[in-house]
A and B are shown apart, each in its own frame.
Chain A
């Protein structure tokens, strides 16, 4: 089945450690996105990528990093510089010019203790 897979679903890390969240899609979409979701704040864009080996900062990129070495993969690293990393993280993809809506993965809930 085509779709977007995020792993793991739940992740626990100690404060000060970097952690990488995985996002893989087999939809052959050009564009991929990372959003952060906090209660009552909707979804905020962290990073997005329109093509391989290129990505742009979103509204809240500080403390995060990404890579796009393959079309199907867009991992997000939450670094120790992120002051409040505990949140629900959502990855999405879009065909770009062909269609307009984004398709979402099931999310990763990160808890930093």
Chain B
């Protein structure tokens, strides 16, 4: 069975500082991993995904994540935070095959960017 743990339900950073949001997964097979962002009262938007190609994945808005199999981690980073990055971020893992594939989400991390 697959599961996702996001360490830290709330993270605060200053504008211009490094953003690091942590995600650890559990999966019995090589996983597919995703980061989504959600703004208040909105749906989820895909930031980036890992699908067993390069272990360092670049996404939209300057975000990137590195897949580390030995640590079962897929942490999200951005070198310099912007006020517009304030949102909730969800890590997700996908298992299964074909159309039976389902996403399992972490509990989310609320990112606050301080001026």
Contacts and interface: CB of A to CB of B under 8 A. Distances in A.
Contacts, number: 63
Contacts of A1: none
Contact of B49 (A40, A45, A88, A100): A100
Nearest to B100: A50
- The binding surface of chain A is classed by DSSP as strand
Interface residues of A, number: 32
A48 B108 CA distance: 22
B94 A104 contact: no
A102 B99 contact: no
A41 B107 contact: yes
Contacts of B98: 96-97
Interface of A: 4, 6, 9, 30-31, 33, 35, 40-45, 48, 50-51, 58, 88, 90, 92, 94, 96-97, 100-107, 109
11 contacts: A9-B41, A30-B99, A33-B103, A45-B103, A51-B99, A101-B46, A102-B103, A105-B43, A107-B41, A107-B42, A107-B43
